[in-house]
Structure 1
Amino acid sequence: MSNFLINKYNVAGPRYTSYPTVPYWDEGNFSIEEYKKSLKRSFAESNKSEGISLYFHLPFCESLCTFCGCNKRITKRHEVESPYIAAVLEEWDMYLELLDEKPVIREIHLGGGTPTFFSPENLKILINGIFEKAERAEEFDFSFEGHPNNTKKDHLQALYDLGFNRVSYGVQDYNMVVQQAIHRFQPFKNVKNATDQAREIGYDSVGHDLIFGLPFQTVEHIKTTIEKTKELMPDRIAFYSYAHVPWIKGNGQRGFKEEDLPTADVKREMYETGKRMLSEAGYVEIGMDHFALRSDTLYKAVENKKLHRNFMGYTSSKTKVMIGLGVSAISDSWSGFAQNVKTIEEYYEILEKGELPLYRGHILTEEDEKMRQHILNLMCNLETSWSEENMYFPELPDVLIRLKEMEADGLVTIEKDRLIIKEEGRPFVRNVCMAFDLLLQRSKPETQLFSMTI
């Protein structure tokens, strides 16, 4: 990829885990009651046919990683576990009162924070509490994020016994200088041990998360990290570009200076190097940032045109309803989004009042729903079509005009009723989606809201 194209298209842009993206939610007019209606409607339409997804935000970490943009609470006091789990189950009970039939759960993801901060016993209490009034779908995918340093065999066994079949470990980079800068000390032996134990127990898929663009990181560091990763051959690899957004995340991303970060040109070389090495090792690039072996369900989802993307990232199954439980968790009724409050204290306080702890959200308009589907198609399948009447929209000619330059640069192909992102354009998928983002195009924000696309 030429430096000219990198410099040309390296602009601030969303990662499109939703549309509209959070900064463009119509918060001023958001109605919790309207959201509840949309959730009940989607649940009634899809629960029996496809089930629902649950996302749990487990926010506690024992130490701060300075690269992290997640909502977390740093503490070594593990007595915080039980009250938090009790609160999450209380929130779940409120949703059960809202819904008219027993939920069929198809997908669960435990994120954070550090889910394995919690003891195996408390994780059992959480998941068993969920299934006291719910049932498991015939085909299901339960996953969690594990910290290799504190994910013990007991964690893995307990969650496996509860139906969890997939785990992803945050690795980031194996170089000690980089690890010191991001305050994430991650010895290879710990990652190997956690990976081997998951496989011995019987997990279907073990993933590793790697990041390029970290402070003091070089192309050689990427090569070394991927060589070590190849020794373990995880089923999936998330190869993320570091999102530097200290104006949003505050001091958590101020553990180093701006000049300690690699330039956009070096970041692109890191990506190209990593992509080439992973391809040579047998991995296939999936959507944006993800790679999988052909034996993994994520690759099979691509083959079957069933890849989906939501606030949990790329998934191999789609449900209309996703309920988020815990602080800052986001729920999705397909026609609306709603996010929980971000502090634990406020979360507890609202639950004590017998109310859902929602504080902002968005009910999608007809236009929003069309743009959401186009962007989802691009993020998952690298193409979208407006041949069907319900996928056409009046601003389409303007969108295609915005993409003409990318077509001239050999990144996309524009046909009569279809747009295709070429292999050369894959690194710029966010830029293509931005052309379809009508809310972004209309607003042109004065301040930077997003990380850079490259």
Structure 2
Amino acid sequence: MDKSLKALTAKYNVAVPRYTSYPTMPYWDNQTYTQVAWKETVKLSFDESNPASGISLYVHLPFCENLCTYCGCNTRITKNHSVEEPYIAAVLKEWALYKDIFSGQPVIREIHLGGGTPTFFCPENLHRLIEGLLDGARVHAQAEFSFEAHPANTTPAHLQTLYNLGFRRLSLGIQDFDPKVQFIINRHQTFEQVLEVTVEARRIGYTSINYDLIYGLPLQNLEGLINTMNIVSNLNPDRIAFYSYAHVPWIKPGQRRFTEADLPDPELKVKLHEVGRSLLRNYGYREIGMDHFALAGDELLEAAQNGGLHRNFMGYTHQHTQLLIGLGVSSISDSWYGFAQNVKTVEEYLEKTSAGEFPLLKGHVLSEEDLILRRHILDIMCKSETRWKLRDLPVIAAALERLREPEADGLVELSAGGLRVTTLGTRFLRNICACLDARLWAAQPTTQLFSMAV
């Protein structure tokens, strides 16, 4: 690795947010948030955007049969599949509460099933869920439905059922093919299982298959990562998400199955990242935003090239809806003017929806300053550049001073009219965005709230 890159990586490898939202969740202001205020922002956003662009739905399906110890998601581990039907009923009750807010028929632009393990649910129950979500709604002409799946339990019936309901995008959690890494993170799937699901999905007619890969996992080394990348290249998924492992055992106790001594040291982790990126480029993948790669012709890549890329709590997308409704335990909704998160336990979620209550835990209504900073951070994450307006300057004055150091390090180019991230700076998008994070700088955390940047 180049010495200057090594030094920059060491300098900027600090704990910073991933900026799927601004403000980030630890800085939500619950003093200004109320359920009434949240519902008002939902109605406003629906009225402004639903007729033309539609809305997005994220459904969190938290159940897994086994705990993957690297996982930072909200999960419930059980082999008892009797939990499926009550949970689906609760999700549909929550959706009915939102439909009561809307002033017209919802137009569904996106549905994404995440988890947990959505394929924990049997195909029949997934069919019931999607039909319930679409009941009384209109599907947008450019709608896209996607779901996450575990290669070890995704059956042809899962694939066919969801395809018949309009799903065309599939994301498989691979992480690593190295047996020793799979063992320590308790995530087991064979090459044969991944191949079988990939081939069957393509035979049925799925048009986009994504693989999730992670670098920085315990016991991971260069040889194992290179082997994983070679296997993946032969399977040729349309997209790859190549994430940094976030070690947050104070939040996710399952990660205490291993210790920091089992993790690649910072230098090796950077090598894993650089080698992985290089291999993906050699295989024909182009880098998109942060952590994402796609083959030529992919809609996500085309959106990145033409300035149409968007980012929300579901990740990067080429579909841009103003209103995202998150359904299910711990799900997060985004009205653009506000955020709200659901309660985090299945029991409380079922209890509140059964009582006809919104299962909300907390939220945030954005101030004018928040909205200005949010737009700039989103543009940096999606377009690697942003443009100031005259009215923005008082809000970003402090940020401009903080950006002088990344500018001196060659990560950004500043001008009177805006900011552009350099090729070198694309490795440090989180750090660059942090310079604009007024709430972070106003109240520096006394404990570690975020994962490390590298």
Please classify the TM superposition score into its range, dividing by the shorter chain length.
over 0.9
SS at 2:21's partner residue? Answer: coil
Instruction: Summarize deviations over 1:125-151 as a string: whole Å, max 9, x none.
Output: 000011111110010111000100011
1:104 to 90, 107, 123: 107
- Please tell me the residue identity of whatever aligns with 2:184: A
1:346 to 345, 348, 359: 348
CA displacement at 1:393 relative to structure 2: 3.4
Q: Distance in 1 between the 2:30 and 2:112 partners?
A: 26
* 2:191 paired residue number: 188
Q: Distance in 1 between the 2:119 and 2:355 partners?
A: 29
Indicate yes or no: 2:90 matched with 1:82: no
Q: After TM superposition, which residue ranges in structure 1, 4 or more long, deviate above 2 angstroms?
A: 395-398
SS at 2:11's partner residue? Answer: helix
- Please tell me the residue identity of whatever aligns with 1:356: F
* 2:268 paired residue number: 266
Contact map agreement 1:6 1:264 (CA 8 A) in 2: no
Aligned length: 451
Contact map agreement 2:342 2:362 (CA 8 A) in 1: yes
* 1:449 paired residue number: 449
Instruction: Summarize deviations over 1:70-122 as a string: whole Å, max 9, x none.
Output: 00000001111011101111111111111111100000100000000001100
* 2:378 paired residue number: 376
* 1:439 paired residue number: 439
Indicate yes or no: 2:94 matched with 1:91: yes
SS at 1:372's partner residue? Answer: helix
Q: Distance in 2 between the 1:248 and 1:259 partners?
A: 19
Q: Distance in 1 between the 2:198 and 2:379 partners?
A: 32
Contact map agreement 1:283 1:292 (CA 8 A) in 2: yes
Contact map agreement 1:63 1:74 (CA 8 A) in 2: yes
Instruction: Summarize deviations over 1:273-327 as a string: whole Å, max 9, x none.
Output: 0111110111000000000011211111112211000000001111010001100
CA displacement at 1:263 relative to structure 2: 1.4
1:152 to 149, 155, 162: 155
Identity %: 55
* 1:420 paired residue number: 420
Deviates more, 1:268-277 or 1:27-36: 27-36
2:245 to 238, 242, 245: 242
Instruction: Summarize deviations over 1:415-447 as a string: whole Å, max 9, x none.
Output: 221111111111100000000000001111111
SS at 1:229's partner residue? Answer: helix
Q: Distance in 2 between the 1:65 and 1:369 partners?
A: 36
| Structure-2-length-normalised TM-score | 0.98
Instruction: Summarize deviations over 1:375-403 as a string: whole Å, max 9, x none.
Output: 000000111110x335x131423212212
- Please tell me the residue identity of whatever aligns with 2:349: Y
Contact map agreement 2:90 2:354 (CA 8 A) in 1: no
- Please tell me the residue identity of whatever aligns with 1:266: L
Q: Distance in 2 between the 1:350 and 1:34 partners?
A: 19
- Please tell me the residue identity of whatever aligns with 1:397: A
Aligned pairs (5 A) from 1:50-129: 50-129=53-132
Q: Distance in 1 between the 2:214 and 2:337 partners?
A: 33
2:364 to 342, 362, 365: 362
Q: Distance in 2 between the 1:415 and 1:98 partners?
A: 44
Deviates more, 1:399-408 or 1:240-249: 399-408
- Please tell me the residue identity of whatever aligns with 2:355: K
- Please tell me the residue identity of whatever aligns with 1:20: P
SS at 2:67's partner residue? Answer: coil
Q: How much is the aligned-residue C-alpha RMSD, in angstroms?
A: 0.9
Structure 2: stretches of 5+ with no match in the other structure: none
